[in-house]
Structure formats: structure tokens, C-alpha cells
Structure 1
């Protein structure tokens, strides 16, 4: 097995993009000390793919220094030529017309190594349009807005299974009782979040009868790879059934 020597390359990537240790840790949803440790110990193996995707580099290059550095296709340019580098660590957006923004979708999908694990990646086949005014009224940077599908009934009856949610990746600081999208060990989850003493985190479902609260301490947050993708600011509502038309 090739040795993980990613620490210096990881540090150099952040410095080149003017990303501070604290800034990266805040985006990732962990402590700055954990990120600082990666400078000497290397990026943990279970996080190598995710960190590589965020920084738009080849994971093998990041781990060992071998092979091509660039990982093409991870952050494709928008049709109008606008792109965003690792300094933003954000999704790419397209301006459709003066009133609309075409937002990219992200989805949970299996890893290719046959481990049965999943991760959250961009879905190149889906977009959704939202009014530019909706984002502007909430002070959301257009490049920070992404979309995903609600999976499961843990947030029913407020957000139904299959609904589309819009996420502001610029707001990852927890405001108690707000709805956030998180990536939990590669799983995309939509939950109410609450801060807990000692930097802990409480996950709460709207459907609390079937899904009791989950509380995670800082060590568990790190071990279970929990990081906040962003604040959920909009969602579609899908009816549970089509109405029956009488007298036909």
C-alpha cells in the first residue's frame, strides 16, 4: 500500500486558494485542530475522495503525489463561461435569463470501490430554476445555491419524500431550529439542527414519532464524517396522492 503523504500537498492547496485552516474547518463542519493535524499526518483515507473533490484535484495525486494533479470534470464550467475555484468551494451556476438562476443538483451515490458506502456528488443531468429575486432577498450568493432531493419521510409532513430542496452553502453555522442539509458518512440528510454544549450537535426530524433525536459529540462528528452542506431555504411540496375525480 502506498504511503499517505498528502499533508504538505493539502496545505499547499489551501494556501494557494487563500483558504485558512479555520475557514476550511468551518466549511467542513469540524474543528480547526483536526484540519491542522492533516498538515502533518495527511488527510484521513476515508476523507481523501471528498477533500479531493472539494479542491478539484486527483485523489491519487493528493495521497501520493503521483499521477495527474488535475481531476477533470469535477467542477465543469457553466455554459456562460463562469467557473469558481477552490477558494469558493462552491457549486457552479448558470444564468438562464435576467430573472432566473439555474442551480445544480447534488445527489447521494455509491462509491465505485464496491464498499457499499455512498458519497454526495454533483448530478450533471439535473438542474432547477429559481427566481434570482428569491436568492437576492435572502442575501444568498448565487454560486452558493445548490439543490438536492429529499429522501425518505423523516421530515414529513413538512418536506415530503421526493421533494426538491434548495441549499445555501454559504450558511453552515448552526442556528438552532433551522433546517440544514448534511453529509453523514456519505449519506445526504435533511434535518433540523441544534447546537449542544461542548460543540455537540443534535439532529431532529419533523417526523419525530418515527425518527427520535440524534445527538453527536465532537469525536463522533469527526469519526462519522458529519459535515454541514448548508442551510435549506426552499423546498417544493409534492402531494401524496392524485385526487380521484368523481362522477366519471
Structure 2
């Protein structure tokens, strides 16, 4: 399914939901839904709400990335109670548990460097804590992880402005559709990357209405690292 309208119609059929019902769930008008299903509009600022109402992955609904629903948990995005963990409050004075590590939290992506370091003149000394098991799952080391806030609206609705993201600077292999921190002549951004030839890539924003695809020589783009984690307050 190549278009947003195709995916939206398929999700509505799978959920057994009408245009009017979806409009009520999301808080928009039925004519607005009709424009989306007919292809008159190619996106929506309510993408996350639409996806939640239809029980599909927002990445898939917005851009066709990945599967329609999370494998193994298609009926609910909420894990069973047996998988719930304990949340402990902590601050900079709290001792670091043996099963956790601290990684740098930068003020901006501009401070990130491809070798996992950061620029000393602007690094604020803030840190975030990750479980060692989380880093093992993505093949990251403590010294290869950098965190920073996303800026701008080019990656909305999946990565709203202010979202905290974590990248693994040891993971630079391009996997189509994954999100990377990249640098072009010093211009650093978060983008989804696709290879279209051995020497060319497409740089894609989730907010494709305002930010069209860009094509570039692979040698002109430095991959700083692959995003593996985000945290957003809605």
C-alpha cells in the first residue's frame, strides 16, 4: 500500500470502524476523514491519534514503514501486568545501580560527534540512565550512546519537537526506513534513510507534506548513529 489513503482505508476495514466513528474517536470532523480516505489530503497532524484509534503502528500509517501492527501484541499496546516494572525516583545524587549506566544528554544534536564524543564547549554535563540490558539488546556500549532533544517539526508526528532521542554511534549500517542522526557539511539532523543504489540514498522526513524527500550521494552524508530509543511527553 503506497499511499496514506490506502493504508488508512485498510486499517479502518480491519478495525471495522466507520468514518464517523473514527472522526469521533480522534476529535475531528467526518469530512476531514473523508478527505483522507479519498486521497485529497496526504497526511494529518492527528496521525498518532488515528493510529491509536485503529490499533496500528503510527510509522506504518504515516509512511508505510514496517508492519501494520506490532507483532505478538496486535490486540493491545499495553504489556501484561507480569511485564510491568518498578519505577524508582532518582536524581544526580542517587547511587548508580550495578545494572545501569549513565550516558551524556546533550543540549542539541549539533553537539553530537560520530565517534560518540561531544563538544566540550557546550556539553552541559547532564546524563540519562539506561539499563545495561537495554544497551545489550541494540549492541550499544556506554561510550557509544548519545542523547539529545529533537528539534523542529520535520519528523512529526512520530518524533515531535522536544522528544528525547538516543542514538548508538557504533551502529552506522543503513537499514531502509530506520532513523539516523546524520551530518551533511556540518548540518546535523534526524532523518529516515533509504538506499536507492550502491552510491545514492534518500533522506526522508516523516512530515513529508512540508519536507519532501532528498536524494544524496552516500559519500556526502556522515552517519553519526542510529536512533534506538525515544521518550516523549504527550
Relative to the length of structure 2, the TM-score reads: 0.51
Whole-angstrom CA distance in 2 between matches of 1:193 and 1:109: 19
Q: Unmatched 5+ residue regions in structure 2? A: 1-94, 112-117
Q: Match of 1:234, SS?
A: strand
Matches within 5 A, 1:93-172: 96-106=96-106, 107-108=108-109, 121=119, 123-172=123-172
Task: Show the counterpart of 1:231.
Answer: 226
Whole-angstrom CA distance in 2 between matches of 1:108 and 1:140: 19
Q: Match of 1:206, SS?
A: coil
Q: Unmatched 5+ residue regions in structure 1? A: 1-94, 111-119, 240-248
Q: Deviations over 1:176-202 (max 9, x none)?
A: 111111122222211110112141121
Q: Note the C-alpha offset of 1:143.
A: 1.9
Whole-angstrom CA distance in 1 between matches of 2:136 and 2:202: 30
Q: Deviations over 1:38-57 (max 9, x none)?
A: xxxxxxxxxxxxxxxxxxxx
Matches within 5 A, 1:79-98: 96-98=96-98
**Runs ≥4 residues deviating over 6 A:** none
Number of residue pairs matched by the alignment: 131
**Greater strand share, 1 or 2?**
1
Whole-angstrom CA distance in 2 between matches of 1:133 and 1:152: 31
Q: Deviations over 1:203-225 (max 9, x none)?
A: 1111111111110025xx53xxx
Q: Note the C-alpha offset of 1:144.
A: 1.3
Matches within 5 A, 1:1-248: 96-106=96-106, 107-108=108-109, 121=119, 123-218=123-218, 221-222=219-220, 226-239=221-234
Q: Note the C-alpha offset of 1:139.
A: 2.5
What is the CA RMSD across the aligned residues, in angstroms? 2.2
Task: Show the counterpart of 2:92.
Answer: none
Q: Note the C-alpha offset of 1:108.
A: 4.5
Whole-angstrom CA distance in 1 between matches of 2:184 and 2:214: 12
Whole-angstrom CA distance in 1 between matches of 2:141 and 2:162: 25
For residues 109 and 157 of structure 1, do their structure 2 counterparts lie closer, same or farther at Cα, with a shift above 3 Å needed? Answer: closer
Whole-angstrom CA distance in 2 between matches of 1:133 and 1:149: 23
For residues 199 and 164 of structure 1, do their structure 2 counterparts lie closer, same or farther at Cα, with a shift above 3 Å needed? Answer: same
